[in-house]
Amino acid sequence: MKLLLTIMISGWLLAGCVGQTAQPTTYYQLPTIADSQQSSDGPLLIIAPIKLSDMLLHPGIVLQTDAVTLHVARQHLWAGDLPQQLQTALQQRLQAALPQYQVRTAGIVADHATTLSLQIHAFQGHYQGVALLRGQWQLRTPSGSTRSAVISIQNPLPDDGYPALVNALADTLDSLAADLAKSVNSLPKN
């Protein structure tokens, strides 16, 4: 009897594994904004390479499923390097908000540039129905003065699903860029 039961259970498990269809992998990228005019002779604002927490270095989109559990999606992946996507998205948004500046990504070394450094600890969906961006930033002027702040931005998800999450995460970048633009504009002029 035990042998018959074991064979039946094994058969059901195998049938379940064979009967499952693999979900297709879907790739997502952060929405871009239209290119904006930039000053050709304005001050430089350099965005240093963005540092991400280890969890965000995986290709899957991160979801916080309860107070203590983070899940990295296996079929819902970033379409490319997330730090690069974040840097490009932030550059576009800052250039639109600061047309008097030349906003560039790292690669240019200039003693006369203001540098923005970012560390992102959370860029994920949250079980309470929000997109979450947490971290910190620092601005360093050519004269060496600094300004820094903690980032904690939440945007409600307008709908279920990964496309809604990615768009809400992009909205957190819009909010971050607006905050950064205010800080850049309030820096002492050299």
Please give, one letter per residue, the 3-state secondary structure of the chain: CHHHHHHHHHHHHHHHHHHCCCCCCEEECCCCCCCCCCCCCCCEEEECCCEECHHHHCCEEEEECCCCCEEEEEEEEECCCHHHHHHHHHHHHHHHHCCCCEEEECCCCCCCCEEEEEEEEEEEEECCCEEEEEEEEEEECCCCCEEEEEEEEEEECCCCCHHHHHHHHHHHHHHHHHHHHHHHHCCCCC
pLDDT at 160 over 50: yes
> Percent of the chain scored above 70 by pLDDT?
83
pLDDT at 13 over 70: no
Give the confidence band of 123 by pLDDT, cuts at 50, 70, 90: very high
Mean pLDDT of 160-169: 96
Q: Report the CATH number of the 38-185 domain.
A: 3.40.50.10610
> Where along the chain do its domains lie?
38-185
Q: What is the tens place of the pLDDT at every residue in 166-176?
A: 999 999 999 99
Q: What is the tens place of the pLDDT at every residue in 62-98?
A: 999 999 999 999 999 999 999 999 999 999 999 999 9
